Amino acid sequence: MADGTHATAVGMRRRGPATGSGAPQRAGGAGPLAAVAAAFTLAQLLLVRPVLGLGWDETVYVSQVTSHTPAAFFSAPRSRGVSLLVAPVASWSSSTPLLRVYLALLSGLALYLALRAWRGLFPVRVLATAGAFFATLWVTLFYGPQAMPNYWVAIGALVCAGCFLRAGTADGGRAAPWGVAAGAALMAWMRPTDAVWVAVPLLLAALARRRGRLLLVLVGGLAAGGVPWVIEAYTGYGGLAQRLADASRIQGGLGWHIAVDDQLRSLGGRALCRPCTGAMPHPVITLWWFVLPVLAAIGLAVAVRAGRTARTLVPLACAATAALPYLFTIEYAAPRFLQPAYALLAIPVADALWHLVRTPSGRWRPWPAALVAVALAGHLAVQLTVLVHTVDRNTDSRRDWARTAATLHRLGVRPPCLLTGHEAIPLGYYTGCSSGNIGGNNANMTEAEILATARRMPVAALTGPGGTPPRYARSWTPHRVSDLQVRVAPPADGTAAPR
């Protein structure tokens, strides 16, 4: 990155205004960015719908700050950022639609601010196209209104990288370093390990260019967001090394694992691909994934020829390091894991698209423009189709949890109560019960503790299809609830349990 941001800005002023697709413009004209963010918010409300119930991970994060249900077990890899994000609503209301609307509005505002962080580095039309591309990915639309961390890591990455490039330029002013700190803190607040991976190219660039103040700001932002996670490691997980070891174990043991094919399988709408087996989605669903790096490479080539390499190379490098752990160090996949990489890639990809459809002098290339328009329309149709399928499937599964919770209430399992076994965490949230397990990644109780709890309140052991009930619950009254076998502990007062 010998052509650092400051040198690029000076070079552009020397040559006078440039007309290439990636040439910087004055900071005005934020209307298209606001329009993209508003459309993104509206699309979430219309397509994902606020009535979508909370998913498994969401119940963990939301339960930490609610008053209507006990806090679920908080495993080592998780961070408190999402819980704090939803606290302004979840701390006083149990309404899932209200929470969805809040998150949709917040995610739209965040996208607008993240795109604004790049003004002066690329024309507004490029930034608006980048925002539209990222916002119309099914994974972005699906997770925008959800209480999950990955979208917010993506927003933090965009803010941090954009402000990093603007720092030291005439347009950056004094605000850019604060943006670097805020973006880094947001990433670390949501997922500390992801924040470090995203920030590696920025840290190396600051060291190489001897930008001590910028390096300090970046490290400070990462620390501000990550220190609470480190403190919690010592107060609740036996130390930082132990928490990292537990996090690795829960994720299947971090190491050299090629998960590229797993990510491809997840593109068909699988929220979690673990174990990731089965056929690949139709090629039309995965085609964009292979086109993305090609367009990013074109964007880099355009930037090199125009003498503005840094502003394109930085997001590409950050996208690569953000994706690396999820492509090569774990044995499973979830499409949301790569959201930060998609957000960062969107900018050079949008720059490449504008280069393909317009000449350096600003004239349209009719045939390339028509082909790009058709390709983008097809891409949008595919993304929306996958989104609708994913929303419908998740809506059905979460309604099943709600129906199971209602049945458990009829069986006498009402708060205060305890669920243990298969899907105890999400069903505990829907039922209003505590959840506990004696084994697996969410182990937080012993058999003796469960039996002692059964003498004080209703306890139910849940067994999934094909499973066997735990030893301590084999004498409890069995019930069939949907595809679950539910065994309810006998009431402490000796009365018969409802049937």
Q: Are the beta carbons of 157 and 190 closer than 8 angstroms?
A: no
d(CA 99, CA 84): 13
DSSP secondary structure letter of residue 418: E
The answer on 281 and 415 residing in a single domain is no
Residues in CB range of 420: below 8 A, 6 or more apart: 435, 436, 437, 438, 445, 450, 459, 460, 461, 462, 470
Q: Are the beta carbons of 406 and 398 closer than 8 angstroms?
A: no
The answer on 425 and 478 residing in a single domain is yes
Residue 399 domain flag:
no
Strand ordering across the sheet containing 459-463: 434-436, 418-421, 459-463, 484-488, 477-481
The answer on 453 and 377 residing in a single domain is no
User: How confident is the prediction along the chain (499 residues), in pLDDT tens digits per residue?
Assistant: 334 434 333 333 333 334 344 444 444 578 999 999 999 999 999 999 999 999 999 999 999 999 999 999 999 999 999 999 999 999 999 999 999 999 999 999 999 999 999 999 999 999 999 999 999 999 999 999 999 999 999 999 999 999 999 997 766 668 899 999 999 999 999 999 999 999 999 999 999 999 999 999 999 999 999 999 999 999 999 999 999 999 999 988 889 999 999 999 999 999 998 888 888 999 999 999 999 999 999 999 999 998 889 999 999 999 999 999 999 999 999 999 999 999 999 999 999 999 999 988 889 999 999 999 999 999 999 999 999 999 999 999 999 999 999 999 999 999 999 999 999 999 999 999 999 999 999 999 999 999 999 999 999 999 999 999 999 999 999 999 989 999 999 987 655 455 5
Q: Are the beta carbons of 435 and 73 closer than 8 angstroms?
A: yes
Cis-peptide, bond into residue 416, ω within 30° of zero: yes
Residue 302, amino acid? V
Which pLDDT score is estimated for 28?
Answer: 52
Q: Point out the domain boundary residue: 359, 392, 425.
A: 392
The answer on 343 and 370 residing in a single domain is yes
Q: Which structure tokens are listed for 57? A: 């991970």
Which pLDDT score is estimated for 278?
Answer: 84
The answer on 170 and 80 residing in a single domain is yes
The answer on 423 and 380 residing in a single domain is no
Residues in CB range of 402: below 8 A, 6 or more apart: 53, 430
In the chain, how many domains are there?
A: 2
The answer on 66 and 184 residing in a single domain is yes
Q: Which structure tokens are listed for 355? A: 């280069």
d(CA 459, CA 482): 18
Nearest alpha-carbon partner for 118 in 197, 196, 182, 176: 176
3-state DSSP of 153-212? HHHHHHHHHHHHHHCCCCCCCCHHHHHHHHHHHHHHHHCHHHHHHHHHHHHHHHHHCCCH
Q: Point out the domain boundary residue: 392, 423, 457.
A: 392
| Residue range of the domain that includes 437 | 411-488
pTM of the model as a whole: 0.92
Residues in CB range of 130: below 8 A, 6 or more apart: 115, 122, 346, 347, 349, 350, 351
d(CA 448, CA 468): 19
Q: Point out the domain boundary residue: 365, 392, 419.
A: 392
The answer on 415 and 281 residing in a single domain is no
Which pLDDT score is estimated for 9?
Answer: 38
